[in-house]
Amino acid sequence: MINLSMGTPVDPVPQVIRQALADASDAPGYPLTAGTPALRAAISAWVARACGAGVDGFGVLPSIGSKELVAWLPTLLGIGPGDVVVVPSICYPTYEDGARLAGATTVRTDSLTAVGPTSRVRLVWVNSPGNPTGQVLPATHLRKVVDWARERGAVVASDECYLPLGWSAEPVSVLSPEVCGGSYDNVLALHSLSKRSNLAGYRAGFVAGDPALVAELLKVRKHAGMIVPAPVQAAMVAALQDERHADEQRERYRARREALYLAFTAAGFTVEHSEAGLYLWMTRGEDCWTTVDWLARRGILVAAGVFYGPGGAQHVRVALTESNEHVAAVAGRLAES
């Protein structure tokens, strides 16, 4: 069975990062929740470079991977019963899980007009490039979301962990001036080194944006023990300062995407969106479990679209995170169908 159901990296951790981790392994003291000065500087420089943000004016804070912060962000922001969290109609399940942990109400929609005039909205999640769809939201749409949320005193949290992986469209960060208008008020961008640098096992992520919100997150996280280990912080510095390994990994994913795209479309699948990110979002126009079964009988495991919301009931998600050998084998098995 070839597992294309999970977006977990399989390629080696770059040596420059492993060496930084090893060099920092003698760490008997408590690490800084805020991150070392070197890490904060590395995050800030990367955000300015990759997100098109200004060189200063935003706050940064490391997190124990991005999933941890996604799950606990509503709670950390003081959101609770009676409050509303807006999530995309088809999305990463942890957005809704985080709202449930906080006791808040979730509204699943891609159109803010569907939310109505309520003032109970405290948090709006956007995800571009999207998981599972790979959809890239244009800057004009993101700007409307930011303006809408600011009018209501709500926070926009943008999950941008796939931002460096644009294929047929170029993703835009919520921290870009064309989206946030040069102000970081009520805006947070979450990033991860899991995909860019193969650091899923390190649990290395960060948030950047509204400095007042970041300061509040830091206060709570200090007392909650949400601290990135010191050796991982050192590894993050090395990862963020080195673009060569990220470019090489991006090219690996590009080649795997092309191979899988051709193989699945030749087998009768229709690929929708998938302009960026680590997944192909596809359908055969049937119930997703029928598709999952059809592929499983050919030794190919994919994720059922219904995991990501009712709107995915006829889709499956295919990850690009398998070895070149396994990707070639998938193409061979589909060709024999």
Give the pLDDT of residue 337.
Answer: 77
Query: Which residue among 183, 214, 241 closes a domain?
Result: 241
Instruction: Calculate helix-pair angle for 244-266, 324-335, nearest 10 degrees.
Output: 10
Max CA pair span of the chain = 58
106-115, 130-139, 240-249: least confidently modelled range: 106-115
Q: Is 3 exposed, middle or buried (0-12, 13-18, 19+ CB in 10 A)?
A: middle
Is the whole model's pTM more than 0.85, yes or no? Answer: yes
Q: What is the pLDDT of residue 114?
A: 82
The tally of domains found in the chain comes to 2
pLDDT at 176: 97
245 pLDDT tier (thresholds 50, 70, 90): very high
Least confident of 77-86, 91-100, 118-127, 238-247: 118-127
Checking if the pLDDT of 126 tops 80, the result is: yes
Task: Write down the pLDDT at residue 301.
Answer: 98
- Of 241, 274, 294, at which residue does a domain stop? 241
- Residue 241 contacts by C-beta under 8 Å, 6 or more apart in sequence? 42, 45
Neighbour-count burial of 178, counting CB atoms closer than 10 A to its CB (0-12 exposed, 13-18 middle, 19+ buried) = middle
Same domain, 99 and 232: yes
Residues 219 and 317 in one domain: no
Dist. CA 144–CA 34, nearest whole Å: 31
Does the pLDDT of residue 12 top 80, yes or no? yes
What pLDDT score does 116 carry? 78
**Pair 177, 231 in one domain:** yes
The phi, psi pair for 208, rounded to 5°, reads -140, 150
Are residues 262 and 218 both part of a single domain? no
Domain that holds residue 163: 16-241
pLDDT at 54 over 90: no
**Same domain, yes or no: 170 and 260:** no
Q: Do 213 and 257 sit in the same domain of this protein?
A: no
CA-based nearest residue to 92, from 54, 132, 134: 132
Neighbours of 336 (CB within 10 A): 8
Q: List C-alpha distances in Å: 221 to 161, 214, 311.
A: 21, 10, 35
Say which residues have a Cβ less than 8 Å from residue 124's Cβ, sequence separation at least 6. Answer: 85, 86, 112, 145, 148, 149, 154, 155, 156, 157
Which has the higher per-residue pLDDT, 56 or 45? Answer: 45
- Give the rounded distance of the alpha carbon of 237 from its chain centre: 20
